[in-house]
Amino acid sequence: MKKLLWLGFPALMLMSSCVDGLDDNYNKNPKLATQVPGVTLMSSAQRSLARAFVSTSVNLNPFRLWVQQLAETTYPDESRYDFVTRQINNAFWNTLYRDVLRDLQESKKTISASTVISEGGKAAQTGAIEVQEVLAWSTLVDNFGDIPYSEALDFNKPRPAYDDDKAIYNDLIKRLDAAIVNLNKEDAELGDDFASGDLIYHGDLDKWQRFANSLKLRLALTIADADDAQARAMVNQLTTAGAHFISSNDENASLVFDKTSPNTNPLWEDLVQSGRTDFIATDFFLKALSNGSAMPDPRLDDYFNEVKGVGGYKGGIAGNPHNFVYSLPGDKLRDQQFPGTLMSYSETEFLLAEAAARGLNVEGTAAAHYSAGIVASITEWGNSEEEADAYALLHPYPATAVGFNEAAKEAIGTQKWIALYNQPVEAWKEYRRLDYPKLTIATNSVLTAIPKRYTYPIPEQNLNTSNYNAAKAAIGGDEASTPVFWDKF
């Protein structure tokens, strides 16, 4: 050992002769960035958000299964609402908190502290980031109810308290209002640097304004059954201000994925790259798409393929295991660059249809917006205007729909469910809120009813126990049957 130490001594002497010490900049890489640009952090958050929202991975997003658009083949556990064994709720929770909100928070801080971005640029950029934060926070509330919010994402508070879900929504609405003001300031500009990292709208300020207004419309309708007065006030604010909404498929809040891993469409990864055949159409969804009419839904061959080697379409039963002689998800979903949609023109039109049916202050009739929602969805999938118009004529807004009665709710809820095929997170939320279509519980379900929320992740129960217990008591039990505050029926 002494010889080894002695042999090492000249090396230490040589090193000490080359530098004055081990402090200063000796251990710093001059080519390594000392701070990640704010827009890069936003890009990362956008990618994570889009992947979480559209994936079919049973480790992250089971919602196409829960709204019974898809069934499973060999392993039907998730169709039966088993989200605990794989800790799917924990994966969704972590993705939104760690990979989305944490990056957006740091992105906003970095941009706000910049000395080179103009004040108008800071206002617009932080406004756009705030819109994305509101989307992510509201999604967490929609899925869990009460969540850590005011104390969340704070390193000094590793065990954050949970906030009331309705109170969080109220604060999110205020934050969104402030973001809309920032996006509409006279000197607002997003700039080329922001555009280079904006994977959704590529720096188009007008489209960010439309997305923000459309998101406010979504939040208003989400709470309408729980707080009609507030919903009316929110919509009235939008219309009084002359707000523009997402008004074409070119304005959809979508992220176009890349052909190069790891930025490919997660559906391609699940349906093609995996080499697995885990998902098939449900018979229930196929019947809705064919509907017994002379004209099948033009989206049928976009959503699903005919049975290989047999022809025609065949669907399975939610909760049952199946062989592979069924209709698989369509080729468009298997495209590496197929976009992940956060909010669409079709969804916006259905929101306007509901607002009109409820007598809220929007232009146009419920029937007109309802038809526009159908047409927008059909053309979004590449079908012609003529096909879309013909199908909409065969499926008009019901004459029995008076106000927002059951006929109106069924029509809007069912067509919206069909249109939200590539927005499964929102599809599950809207199914719970509108209660249409009428689904039956999956075969061999592990629950006694279709879940109304995710239960809290096991790590929260173990590591944030006292706050978890307080939240559990506040919501009336950490059960999948416990509704979120807006779910009144």
- Any residues with CB less than 8 A from the CB of 20 and at least 6 apart, and which? none
Bond prior to 296 in cis (omega within 30° of 0): no
Contact 207, 251 (CB under 8 A): yes
Instruction: List domains and CATH numbers for the chain.
Output: 62-265+337-475 (1.25.40.390)
CA of residue 103 relative to chain centroid, distance: 16
Q: What are the pLDDT digits (tens) for 182-238?
A: 999 999 999 999 999 999 999 999 999 999 999 999 999 999 999 999 999 999 999
Cα separation, 255 vs 42, whole angstroms? 13
Q: Residue 71: what are its φ and ψ, rounded to 5°?
A: -120, 170
Cα separation, 370 vs 362, whole angstroms? 13
Q: What are the pLDDT digits (tens) for 389-418?
A: 999 999 999 999 999 999 999 999 999 999
pLDDT at 293: 65
User: Rounded mean pLDDT of 448-462?
Assistant: 98
Q: Which range among 30-44, 103-117, 220-234, 246-260 shows the weakest confidence by mean pLDDT?
A: 30-44
| DSSP state, residue 70 | E
- Half-sphere exposure in the Cβ direction for 304 (13 Å, CA): 31
Q: What are the pLDDT digits (tens) for 17-53?
A: 334 444 445 445 444 445 789 999 999 999 999 999 9
- Which residue bears the tokens 């969104």? 176
Number of helices (H) and strands (E), helices first, in the chain? 20, 6
CA angle (269 as vertex; 268, 270 as ends), nearest 5: 90
- Which residue bears the tokens 């499964």? 424
Q: What string of H, E and C letters represents the secondary structure of 330-359?
A: CHHHHCCCCCEEEECHHHHHHHHHHHHHCC
pTM across the whole model: 0.93
Contact 451, 480 (CB under 8 A): yes
